[in-house]
Structure 1
Amino acid sequence: MSARTMRAIRLHEHGGPDVLRYEEVPIPEPGPGEVLVRVHAAGVNPPDWYLRDGMTTMPGEWKSTVSLPVIPGTDVSGVVETVAADVEGFAPGDEVFGLLRFPSFKGSAYAEYVAAPASDLAHKPAGIDHVDAAGAPMAGLTAWQFLIDVGHDHPSPFQEARHQPTALDADTTVLVNGAAGGVGHLALQLAKWKGARVIAVASGAHASFLHELGADRFIDYTTSRPEELVNDIDLVLDTVGGPGSASLLRTLKRGGAQFPVLPGGVGEEEAAKLGITLSSAQVRSNGAQLAELGRLLDTGTVQVAIDSTFPLSDARAAHERAARGHIRGKIVLTAT
C-alpha cells in the first residue's frame, strides 16, 4: 500500500453484508473547514445498513446524493493528522470524536482516514478509549437532541412544528422503550442525570444491565405489556417504533409526550384524542453538543456500553451481528 492510500470499506452495489468490500483507496484531502483524522474506531449505526441495503435518500431529500462506490459510516474516533488553514481549535495529535456530515450518507467513517468537518468534531474525553468514543456520537446526539436540547433550527422532515424536549427533573417519569439499545441506554442515563425517574423496557436478558445504569424499574416486554403495568407517565421515548408504538400512548398521562425516534407507528389523531404530544426530530451533527456529552462521558456520569467490536476488515461480521438484533449498546469497528 502506498503512502497516499489507505484501507476502507466500500459498497460497489447494494445488498447484504457480503457486499461490504475491504479495499485500497486514496487517502482523502481535507477541504476548507476540515481536518484529516486517522481513524482508530468507527461506530456502526442503522443508517449504515440502510445504505448497504439500498436506501440512498435521507428523509426530507427529494433525490439521492449517493454515487457508488461509497464508503459508509458516520461515527468516528481518532487522532488529527492535518488541519485546513482556516480551522481553529484542533491541531495535529489531538484525539477527537464525532458524527460526520449527518444527515447524509457522506460520513465515510469506515476507513483508516477520514476528512471531517471541524464543526462535527469534539475533543475525545481523556477518560474513555477510542472504542467507547466511537460508539457515542450518533446514539448520544440522538438521545441529547430528543431529551435535552435540539440545538438547531432545521425543519424536521417528520413534522411541521419544531421538536421541543420535555423538561426533565425529579418530578418527571420517563419510559424508555428499547432501553438496552444504542440510543436507549444513553437516553436512560441522560434522563437520570437530569433527575428523572426512569422505567426501562427491554427483554429480560438486559434487566441487570439496565438497573446498573440507573433504571428505577424494569419491564420485560417479552412477558408483560407496559400499558398494563404503568400509567401517568410524563414522557415516553420510543426507540423501537413499529406496531407496538401506539399501545405506549396508554402509559402516558394527559398532557404527556411521546417521542418516537422512528416516526410512523402512532397516529396523530389518536394521540390528540388522548391529549398526548407526539413529537420527533432528525439528529444532526453537532460538535458543541458532543463536547457537552463528552464531559459526562469523561466523568463516568454517562457510559457507553459496547455490544461487540470487529476489525475494520471484518465489517461484514459487524453487520451480520447487527442483523441478529437484541444489541446491548453499540457495535464498533476498530481500525488500528
Structure 2
Amino acid sequence: MIVLKGFGGPEQLACAPMPGEYLSPGSSQMLVRIVASSVNPIEWKMREGMGAPRWLWRWRIGRQRVLGIDFAGTVAALGENCRGWRNGDAVMGIRPYGGTYADFALVDPARAVVVHRPLGISASSAGVVPWAGLTAFKALGRRSLAGRRVLIVGASGGVGHLAVQIARHCLNAALVVGIAGARNSGFLRACGAHVAIAHDRLADPIDILTYARDWPGSFDLIVDLVGRDAYWTSLAPRLLRPDGLFVAVAVPALHPARAGEDLGTLAALKLLARLSVRRWSGRYRFVGGLMGELCDRRALQRIADWMADGRLVPHIGRSYPLEQVAAAHRACEAGVVTGKIGLSMQA
C-alpha cells in the first residue's frame, strides 16, 4: 500500500507493507481485492494539506494514512453481517476519505458507496468513474435536463468529460457547451458537447456571450470545475436565466489564480462565509464532496447502468502502476491529462 508520510509534495507518498489488521473484515465489512483505482484532484490537495485546515485533513485521512477514493475489484472476504454480497463479486465504488491506494481495502457498505460492476465493463474503466461520476451527476442536479442549456467549465478533465456525457446522453440536455483548452475541442465534441469553447482563446469569460445572439440570459445551469471566480461574478449574471443555477465544484480562489489554495482556519472561515452569502442568493450551490453529498448508492447505480448501456464511457488519459502513484500525482497536479488518470494494482 501507499502511505502518506506527511503533508507536502509527491515524494511524501511511500510504499509500505499492509498490516494484517487491514485484511480482516469486521462484522459489517467486506474485504475488497483492488484491481484498479484512480487519482482525483482532491487527493493531491489532501496530500498537500490544501483546501482545508491540515488538522481537518489529518482527522479525515485517519491513522491509516492511505489516500485513494475510487476502487474496482472483487470481494475477497465478508464479515458475518455484511449481507447482499458474495465472495468473488465484482464491485466498484468509493471510500470517501481514502484507503484505496492499496491492493486490498476494508469497505463498509453502510459508510462507503459500493455497487456491482456491470458485466462487460473492465476494472480499469470502473476504477476511474465513481468519484468523478458522482461529482458530475450531483453537479448536474440528477434530474432530466430536457430542453435545458448547460455550460460546463473545465469540461475535458476527469469530472468534466463525464459531466458532458451525462448532460448530453443521459439527462438529455438541449444544449451542452464545454469550456476547455483549444487542444481538447475535438475531444469535447466526441464526448457529446454541442459547442466547444477554448478558454485559452478568451480574453475574459464574459466573451462567451458573443458566441450566439440568443445565449445571454438563456442558460439554465453553469457547472464550474475550475474555481475561477469570474465565471460567477461576471458571466453568470449575464448568461443565466432568472431562475438559472450556478454550481461550483472547485473551491473558489480567495486570491487571483489560487483556486483550492492552502487554507488556515481563518481563511477557511472566510471562504465559508463567502459561500454562505452566495448560497443565500438562491442561484449558487457548492458540491461539497467530502461532506457526504457524494455518498449516494442509488446515484452510483445509475452511473453503473449508464456505463453498461454505453451512454457513459470514461476516457483514461494516462494509467500508472500503483508504485508510480507519485508520478500520477504530478501529472494530475500539472493538469496535463485529458480525462482521468488510472491506477492499476494487480493483473
TM over 0.5: yes
Cα deviations by residue, 1:254-309 (Å, 9 ceiling, x for unpaired): 22111111244696799799x87111232322333211110100111111111110
Asked if structure 1 preserves the Cα contact closer than 8 Å seen for 2:229 and 2:252, the reply is no
Asked if structure 1 preserves the Cα contact closer than 8 Å seen for 2:75 and 2:86, the reply is yes
Asked if structure 2 preserves the Cα contact closer than 8 Å seen for 1:57 and 1:65, the reply is no
Q: CA deviation at 1:54?
A: 2.5
Most deviating of 277-286 and 253-262:
277-286
Q: Which residue in the other structure is 2:285 paired with?
A: 279
* Identity fraction in percent: 30
**2-side partners of 1:67 and 1:125: how far apart?**
31
Cα deviations by residue, 1:158-194 (Å, 9 ceiling, x for unpaired): xxxxxxxxx5433100001111111111111111122
Q: CA deviation at 1:63?
A: 8.0
**1-side partners of 2:11 and 2:57: how far apart?**
29
Letter in 2 for 1:278: Y
Q: How many residues align?
A: 307
Q: Which residue in the other structure is 1:209 paired with?
A: 187
Q: Which residue in the other structure is 1:239 paired with?
A: 225
Q: CA deviation at 1:58?
A: 8.0
Residue 158 (structure 2) aligned to one of 163, 182, 190: 182
Length-normalised TM-score, structure 2: 0.81
Question: 1:1-336 to 2 correspondence within 5 Å?
Answer: 8-27=1-20, 28=22, 29-55=24-50, 64-67=59-62, 70-100=65-95, 102=96, 105=97, 107-119=98-110, 120-149=113-142, 167-192=143-168, 193-196=170-173, 197-224=175-202, 225-229=207-211, 230-231=215-216, 232-245=218-231, 246-249=233-236, 250-264=238-252, 277-283=283-289, 284-336=294-346
Most deviating of 172-181 and 189-198:
189-198
Q: Secondary structure of 2:326's match? A: helix
Letter in 1 for 2:235: L
Q: Secondary structure of 1:24's match? A: coil
Cα deviations by residue, 1:98-150 (Å, 9 ceiling, x for unpaired): 011x2xx3x2000000001224110011222111111101110111222244x
Q: Secondary structure of 2:85's match? A: coil
Against the structure 1 CA distance between its residues 126 and 143, is the aligned structure 2 distance closer, same or farther, given a 3 Å change threshold? same
Instruction: Structure 1 unaligned segments of length 5 or more: list them.
Output: 1-7, 150-166
Q: Secondary structure of 2:295's match? A: coil
RMSD value over aligned CA atoms? Answer: 2.7
Letter in 1 for 2:313: Q
Asked if structure 1 preserves the Cα contact closer than 8 Å seen for 2:221 and 2:244, the reply is yes
Against the structure 1 CA distance between its residues 200 and 99, is the aligned structure 2 distance closer, same or farther, given a 3 Å change threshold? same
Structure 1 consecutive aligned stretches of length 4 or more whose deviation exceeds 6 Å: 266-273
Against the structure 1 CA distance between its residues 263 and 315, is the aligned structure 2 distance closer, same or farther, given a 3 Å change threshold? closer
Against the structure 1 CA distance between its residues 46 and 169, is the aligned structure 2 distance closer, same or farther, given a 3 Å change threshold? closer
Instruction: Structure 2 unaligned segments of length 5 or more: list them.
Output: 255-273
